[in-house]
Amino acid sequence: MNDLVASSKIALVILCGGSGTRLWPLSRAGFPKQFLVLSGDDSNQSLFQQAVGRLNAIPDSKSDVTQTLVVSNEEHRFLVLDQLRELKDVAATVLLEPSGRNTAPALTLAAFAAREQGDDPILLITPADQTITNEAAFTKALRDCAAVVAADKSRHTIAILGVTPTSPQTGYGYIKRSAAKGACNEYVVEQFVEKPNASTAQAYLDDGNYLWNSGIFVMYASTWLASLKEFRPDIFGASETAWVAKTIDPSGDAVFVRPDKTIFNSVPSESIDYAVIEKCPGSTYPVKMVELDAGWNDLGAWDAVWQVGSKDQQGNVMSGDTLLTDTQNSLIHSSSRLVSAVGVENLIIIETADAVLVADRSKVQDVKNIVSQLEAQRRTEKNLHRKVARPWGWYDSVDEGERFKVKRIQVKPGASLSLQMHHHRAEHWIVVKGMAEITNGDQVLLLTENQSTYIPQGQTHRLANPGKTPLEIIEVQSGSYLGEDDIVRFEDTYGRVNE
């Protein structure tokens, strides 16, 4: 990184909202695509973890990185925390939105956080749900963006990465650039263009001066706040009020920061592009663009996952337990059982424990229509997998019927569930692996493999793992109502008593 950029403070911003509905049934509201391993590389890292790693590779030893800021939904805070813990040498502040208000309010929270100590760092801003195949090219392009921003002593310039188009895509917004290139490989942005139809997209590709909008930005924190205050004072004002009323909750290696819930829920929902960026060309906030040719993909639909995946000789991308014959150019993903395909082509087949998707590759954008139907019918498959992540571990609902439900539960070493009770159900617990410390009313029991206990309806209880290996139990529930909302928490390590 050159001395111009090294002389500036830098804050790394990862926007980790979004639901990824077009990647259902693997992506769901409770476990959206940014937390999935989808890119087909050998890192076995989620898209979110890859985004954090890419940004942390941008500064060099001379750079002054003030902080890593992750903006996510309150509902996903423990997914963020668990995945951050798997990354080495990354300490982050997690800004928690009580509800999704799109990317403009999310970035505003990050800008306020970046300026909290009186600094005005350059923000390197990226979504959490994209993939890059050429990390070196990405690093160079983003460093060029930072140099462009740092060169403007007035602190008005905004830089953006424009992706070199490889086909006439109709699912992306486009950036029209100037013909002249500057000293840091930047172009002046003349216009932002909405998603085009097929013929217009082809014309943009033939023209050569239109690039895909990556949603990756670089600017001073003060630049974002000033431009937002000018173009959308309503978003600025409500976000600022919610930020001033924030609460701070240290949680292990991370810090949770929560804006005021009631105030933030009233902030207008708008994207960074619509609120500010598209209004900037020709204003006092010029936008410069650096071209990115690095194998970028936002994995916006299953066909994109097929495109970036490792293919066999027949063009198939496979994951999990699969068997194919006479099958071409298809994506087959198995999560929990054998999936076979015979004599098909150009299909998407996604299997999970509780749902299966079969789609023509040319129609994958319409998966969102299935998600809409699930929402209209209030089906749980829209939001949760059968196996549900929890801050203490996970549970898998393996069977259920009238007045009973069976779960397999795993508790991390040293973790515990909340001290709780249920109004409508009793529970039987059988330990199948590890050691369990069980609070059952006034009793505290230590149970090992093949031992069990019974929790009567209305009894206060808690499950904990005092050991150094994962604890697994089988839970059999019985009662008139077995919904997850039948729970009263009295004490909770994870701050969920009032949820």
Give backbone dihedrals phi and psi of 111, rounded to 5 degrees, phi first.
-65, -40
Low-confidence ranges of the chain (pLDDT < 50): 1-4
For 154, other C-beta atoms within 10 Å of its C-beta total 10
Residues 366 and 392 occupy one common structural domain: no
pLDDT tens readout for residues 142-180: 999 999 999 999 999 999 999 999 999 988 999 999 999
Instruction: Give the pTM.
Output: 0.91
Whether residue 496 lies inside any domain: the answer is no
User: How many domains are contained in the chain?
Assistant: 3
Whether residue 499 lies inside any domain: the answer is no
Residues 182 and 271 occupy one common structural domain: yes
Whether residue 300 lies inside any domain: the answer is no
Domain of residue 355 covers 310-373
Whether residue 280 lies inside any domain: the answer is yes
CA nearest neighbour of 109 among 263, 283, 278, 2: 263
Q: Are 437 and 465 in contact (CB under 8 A)?
A: yes
Domain end, chosen from 263, 292, 321, is at 292
Whether residue 197 lies inside any domain: the answer is yes
Residues 347 and 484 occupy one common structural domain: no
Beta bridge mates, 453: 429
Which pLDDT score is estimated for 42?
A: 61
Residues 160 and 246 occupy one common structural domain: yes
Whether residue 72 lies inside any domain: the answer is yes
Residues 328 and 403 occupy one common structural domain: no
Residues 435 and 347 occupy one common structural domain: no
Give backbone dihedrals phi and psi of 271, rounded to 5 degrees, phi first.
-85, 160
Residues 353 and 397 occupy one common structural domain: no
DSSP sequence for 397-424: EEEEETTEEEEEEEE-TT-BPPEEE-SS
Residues 344 and 416 occupy one common structural domain: no
Q: Are 187 and 288 in contact (CB under 8 A)?
A: yes
Whether residue 352 lies inside any domain: the answer is yes
Which pLDDT score is estimated for 4?
A: 44
CATH assignment at residue 487: 2.60.120.10
Residues 321 and 415 occupy one common structural domain: no
Residues 342 and 193 occupy one common structural domain: no
Which pLDDT score is estimated for 494?
A: 81
Q: What distances in angstroms separate CA 335 from CA 26, 366, 382, one per listed residue? A: 9, 22, 17
CA nearest neighbour of 451 among 473, 427, 475, 431: 431
pLDDT tens readout for residues 232-255: 999 999 999 999 999 998 766 678
Whether residue 446 lies inside any domain: the answer is yes
Residues 282 and 368 occupy one common structural domain: no
Residues 401 and 468 occupy one common structural domain: yes
- Inter-helix orientation angle 221-231/103-114, to 10°: 130
In whole angstroms, give the CA distance from residue 265 to residue 263: 5
In whole angstroms, give the CA distance from residue 216 to residue 297: 12
Buried b (16+ CB within 10 A) or exposed e, 204-231: beeeeebbbbbbbbbbbbbbbbbbbeeb
